[in-house]
Amino acid sequence: MLALLIILSISFLILVHEFGHFLAAKISGIRVKEFALGFGPPIISFKHKETRYRVNVILLGGYVKFFSLKEGKTEESQLFEGDELEIKPFRQKLLVVVSGVVANLVAALLILAVLSLAYGTPQALAKLGKIFPNQPAAKAGFRSGDVIVAVNNKVIKTGDELARTIGESTNKKILVEVKRGGKKKVLAVTPRYDPKLKRGIIGVRIETSLKFVREGVIKSLIWAFSQFIRAIGLIFFFLGQLFTAKASIKTLAGPIGMVKISSEVAKFGLFNFIFLQAFISINLAILNLLPLPPLDGGRLLLYVIEAARRKPLSNQTKGAIIVAGVFVLLTLFVFVTYNDISRILTGADFLP
């Protein structure tokens, strides 16, 4: 059931992307022959007015197919080949091509806004899990479930912050303010040096949990927008690391990996699962801007070249560029699918 929910949620994001193209085409007066989710034989197919709508058996992608110029455009078909989008002015081509990306970005922002309004603004808490016996924390009186408020009067917000502060305080007494049962108390503890970790520890399992605080509509929307911008920044940072060989291509995940990651994140609650869908939607938007036909970025690149030349590229040149782009994408798809399967078979983690 969870796998089906994940597939449907990702399919919905793809549908949003294609609907962006569809809506922009309608606004631009371009006739849409087919609007499809997925590839392969249709599961559902019906026609409304001039457009056939399809849900295909392989829910990995989708497409909007425009009418050929030869279908009811006899005068223009003598001069052009291709679909109706090809003869439109550059600004209309630009609108149709980028509309899918814009649709995914808007969807992501709306998902984050609804999340913050429904749950409240999430705030990270550094929380103690297991307390190991005969360790500094156990001797100092720490208990599992203690929420760490501050260390030496410095506010602690996440488990990482707590671990870093403890690690830097080897053999130094620190004052830790904890919240337990609604009451605050201060405990003194001296981290000991761990030769394996090469840093100070107090013998606890540190966790980061979320607390949701309702702060009103304005603050909720500000949080949603800040997470939206942060997600975009993280994706571009990772792409930069990838292109400069600072990150391994083996860290990429394909459709199988996306399903696996979604299933693992779902274990941490509905909020995290829905948040991930917003992140995936932003991913779809940005990756579609890569300058590889038949991605949106590839088509946009061709239109920019034609606008700069002030004349269309030959069908032969376009065909060669598109074939090259498809080959690169198929190669990448095979690689990430192999990568996903290898991780599953070896039991490697998909989440960092």
Q: Which of 16-25, 245-254, 270-279 has the lowest mean pLDDT?
A: 245-254
Residue 280 lies in a domain: yes
Only one residue has tokens 């003194």, namely: 188
Instruction: Say which CATH number the domain at 152 has.
Output: 2.30.42.10
Whether 347 and 260 map to the same domain: the answer is yes
Percent residues over pLDDT 90 in the chain: 50
Whether 278 and 317 map to the same domain: the answer is yes
- Strands 147-151, 204-213: pairing kind: unpaired
Residue 14 lies in a domain: no
Kind and range of the H or E element at 332?
helix 315-346
Residue 72: pLDDT band (50, 70, 90) is: low
Domain count, the chain: 2
Residue 57 lies in a domain: no
pLDDT the model gives residue 71: 57
pLDDT the model gives residue 345: 86
Q: 3-state DSSP call for residue 89?
A: coil
pLDDT the model gives residue 49: 87
pLDDT the model gives residue 209: 80
Pull the structure tokens for residue 133. 């016996």
Domain finish residue from 213, 236, 270 = 213
Pull the structure tokens for residue 100. 């899918």
Q: DSSP label at 250?
A: G
Q: Which of 62-71, 261-270, 281-290, 308-317 has the lowest mean pLDDT?
A: 62-71
Whether 110 and 162 map to the same domain: the answer is no
Whether 314 and 242 map to the same domain: the answer is yes
Alpha-carbon distance 274 to 283, whole Å? 14
Quote the mean pLDDT of the chain: 88
Pull the structure tokens for residue 136. 């500094």
Asked whether 108 and 279 are in contact (CB, 8 A), the reply is: yes
C-alpha count within 13 angstroms, C-beta hemisphere, residue 30 = 28
Statement: residue 75 has pLDDT above 50: no
| 136-166 tens-digit pLDDT | 999 999 999 999 999 999 999 888 899 999 9
Domain finish residue from 194, 213, 232 = 213
* Amino acid, res. 23: L
Domain finish residue from 157, 183, 213 = 213
Q: 3-state DSSP call for residue 172?
A: coil
| 320-347 tens-digit pLDDT | 998 999 999 999 989 999 988 988 888 7
Whether 135 and 203 map to the same domain: the answer is yes
Residue 337 lies in a domain: yes
The model carries a pTM of 0.80
Residue 261 lies in a domain: yes
Q: Which of 319, 288, 285 is nearest to 302 (CA)?
A: 319
Only one residue has tokens 């779902």, namely: 266
Whether 250 and 197 map to the same domain: the answer is no
pLDDT the model gives residue 352: 60
Residue 71 lies in a domain: no
| 30-58 tens-digit pLDDT | 888 899 988 889 999 999 988 999 999 88
pLDDT the model gives residue 351: 65
Residue 300 lies in a domain: yes
How far apart, in Å, are the Cα atoms of 160 and each of 151, 206, 209? 13, 8, 11
Residue 79: pLDDT band (50, 70, 90) is: very low
For 139, other C-beta atoms within 10 Å of its C-beta total 13
Whether 141 and 264 map to the same domain: the answer is no
Whether 255 and 156 map to the same domain: the answer is no
Q: Which of 12-26, 218-232, 241-255 has the lowest mean pLDDT?
A: 241-255
Whether 192 and 288 map to the same domain: the answer is no
pLDDT the model gives residue 78: 39
Residue 65 lies in a domain: no
Statement: residue 74 has pLDDT above 70: no
Full residue range of the structural domain in which residue 306 is found: 88-120+215-352
Q: Please give the torsion angle defined by the CA atoms of residues 84, 87, 88 and 93, in that order, rounded to the nearest 10 degrees.
A: 80
Whether 280 and 341 map to the same domain: the answer is yes
pLDDT the model gives residue 41: 92
Whether 327 and 225 map to the same domain: the answer is yes
Q: Which residues pair with 186 in a beta bridge?
A: 177
Residue 77: pLDDT band (50, 70, 90) is: very low
Q: Which residues contact 71 (CB under 8 A, 6 or more apart)?
A: 33
pLDDT the model gives residue 76: 39
Whether 296 and 235 map to the same domain: the answer is yes
